[in-house]
Structure 1
Amino acid sequence: MTHRFAFRFDAVFRPALALLGVRPATAWVRVDDAEVLVRFGPWRLRTGRGNVTGVEVAGPYRWWRAIGPHVSLADAGVTFGSTSRAGVCLRFAEPVPALLPGGWLRHPGATVTVADPDGLARALSGPVAR
């Protein structure tokens, strides 16, 4: 089964995100039996479902830490943020590429600010195809 989760956009940040190519039509998370795919404008993160080792709903966030694509200086996790309200933090067994071309920068986790964080957490907590 495939689930698709739209990002939640705070109205105040929509114009700046649109300049980066991040709009509702280009920002979503897709979860199926085999993989997780995040699209955030021109950025992509793809990993197998089995690589997701932890899922946590979190927030609210400070806007300057949550909005846009960026890397945490604390743990090298990637954030794809469009709202400061809430999001889902994913942890990976094997770090994955997402922000820079070439895949040399890999992230041990990702935060995504989808409109339905609880739904995404449930979808990722379900059985994984083997």
Structure 2
Amino acid sequence: MPHDDTVGPTRGGPTRVFAFRFDPPFRLPLALLGIRPETARVELGPDKLAVVFGPWRLHTARSNVTGVELSGPYRWWRAIGPHLSLADAGVTFGSSVAAGVCVRFAAPVPALAPGLWLRHPAATLTVADPEGLRDALRPWPAG
């Protein structure tokens, strides 16, 4: 299965799709939550970042991304499924313990609960190609 595809054009360019990496031991428990390879992806367009993780969603403007770094490996009980970090209120959408990308936001975004009361300053995403997502989220070099 390809980990990065380009899909239909959007204003300003194509949208890149990054699939989540699914470790075999966690496929069934995640599927019970509605999280399967066909229902989990990161969509990165010229103006937007969207994460679909089963029934959970995160949407923000690409300009809201202020930092991105590789992270992992993780302990399974802290990374698998949707998680809220009690330390910094970040959200994790995890389907693998191997590696992921931590994306930081200028303005915190909703993801785990609807409404305005729970917003996250960062999101950790365990995509199949963490380096590719990191590189795609970095600003273009000047010149």
Question: Shorter-chain-normalised TM-score: which range?
Answer: over 0.9
Aligned residue pairs: how many? 127
The aligned amino acid for 1:32 is G
From 97, 104, 107, the equivalent of 1:84 is 97
Between the two structures, name the one with larger relative contact order (CA 8 Å, sep ≥ 6): 1
The aligned amino acid for 1:55 is V
- Tell me the residue number matched to 2:39: 26
- TM-score in terms of structure 2 length: 0.87
Query: For structure 2, which runs of at least 5 residues remain unmatched after alignment?
Result: 1-13
Is 2:136 the partner of 1:123? Answer: yes
1:26-105 mapped onto 2 (5 Å cutoff): 26-105=39-118
- Residue 103 of structure 1: how far off its partner (Å): 3.2
- Residue 102 of structure 1: how far off its partner (Å): 1.8
- Tell me the residue number matched to 2:4: none
**Rg bigger for which structure?**
2
- Residue 2 of structure 1: how far off its partner (Å): 1.5
- TM-score in terms of structure 1 length: 0.95
- Residue 126 of structure 1: how far off its partner (Å): 3.5
CA distance in 2, matches of 1:104, 1:65: 23
CA distance in 2, matches of 1:22, 1:110: 17
CA distance in 2, matches of 1:93, 1:78: 15
CA distance in 2, matches of 1:19, 1:105: 24
3-state DSSP of counterpart to 1:104: coil
The structure 1 segments of at least 4 consecutive aligned residues displaced by more than 2 Å after TM superposition are none
Considering fraction of residues, name the structure with more helix: 1
Query: For structure 1, which runs of at least 5 residues remain unmatched after alignment?
Result: none
Q: Over the residues paired in the alignment, what is the CA RMSD in angstroms?
A: 0.7
Identity of aligned residues (%): 69
